[in-house]
Structure formats: C-alpha cells, structure tokens
Amino acid sequence: MKLLEELTPRQDRIEKKNFGLLTKFAGVLLLVTVVIVLFKTLGNASLFFYPVDEAVEKRVELQDRRFRVIGTPQPGIFETMLSGRQVLVFTLCTGDIYADVVHEGDPAELFNPGVPVVLQGVWREIQPPSVEKLLYSLNDGWHIETDSMVVKHDNDYRSDRAELESCSSE
C-alpha cells in the first residue's frame, strides 16, 4: 500500500507546471510589448529633419513622406477654414527661401512671427487656401500640410541666436 501512495502525483508538482506556463506566457507578452514600443519609437525617429531651403529643394521626392521642417514664420499669419477644419496659414522661411504652410491643430504656445518653429507634415501640390492674404507667399502651387508644431527658442525667446539664417523679409 505504501508503494501506491508514492506513485500518486503530488499536488505541488501540478501547480508548479501551471506556474511555469504562466511565466512563459507573461515573458512572451512582455517581449511583444517591448518590440511594439521600439517599433513605434524608432518609426517616429526616422522622420527626416530639414530647414526650409532643403525641404523646398527636395519637395518632389518628399511629397508622399512625412518630414520635419524648421523655419521662421513670417508676418501675415491668419486662420481660415479648410474642408470644415480650422487651420492656420502662414509662410515659413530660411534665408531667402520661402514655403507656404497650412497647419491643422493648435499652434505652439509661443508661436509668433520671427520665432523659429519645427513643424511635422507632408508636401501637398495644391494652392493653400486664401493664399492672397499671405504677405510673403511663395505662391507656387505647393504648401506644407502640418499637424505638429514645436517652438524653437533660446532663453530670450527670439531667433537672433538660433542657428537659422534670418529671413530676408525680417
């Protein structure tokens, strides 16, 4: 009889098997989560960053790709409606190169003419709305459609010490 008792599976061994399976499942789930986070982070980091002059030069090849652009907004910023959405329309420049911008979403807190901004968006080969209201419009049938804006500033919130070349209109 003693021999039969020793062959019966002990309850603690059955629980250990289930616990090992649960640990493996949690490990796989954690690994999948890390891979997804890395993929999204690295995907966003692969956006190219261009000053306005380079973005204008490469606009045909950038047309279908998102990119980041840095430049200085010019006076004459205005709000208008585009396809039922409220947008900001303005001209961005670096040196003597200009690009028209249509920005959807809230502008950055310190957004003003003369204060450099970093925008994220895509080129569109279409005239921006109400382009005749822009004071420094390139008016070439292209604009950058953006949805993300960050103000780039120094401690004085002015562009005079930024690495951007000042615009010829300033």
Over the chain (170 residues), the average pLDDT of each successive run of 10 is 58 60 84 83 66 90 87 92 89 91 90 92 88 84 91 55 56
From residue 122, give the alpha-carbon distance in Å to each of 29, 36, 116, 144: 35, 25, 19, 6
> How many CB atoms neighbour CB 98 within 10 A?
24
**Which residue, among 87, 86, 103, has the nearest Cα to 150 in the 3D structure?**
103
Burial 116-137 (b: 16+ CB within 10 A, else e): bbbbbbebbeeebebbeebebb
Instruction: Name the CA radius of gyration of the chain, rounded.
Output: 28
Supply the pLDDT for residue 157: 45
Supply the pLDDT for residue 2: 55
From residue 79, give the alpha-carbon distance in Å to each of 14, 17, 35, 102, 130: 68, 65, 41, 9, 10
Supply the pLDDT for residue 131: 83
**Cα 37 from chain centroid (whole Å):** 16
The verdict on pTM exceeding 0.75 is no
Fold for the domain defined by 48-151: OB fold (Dihydrolipoamide Acetyltransferase, E2P) (2.40.50)
Supply the pLDDT for residue 15: 55
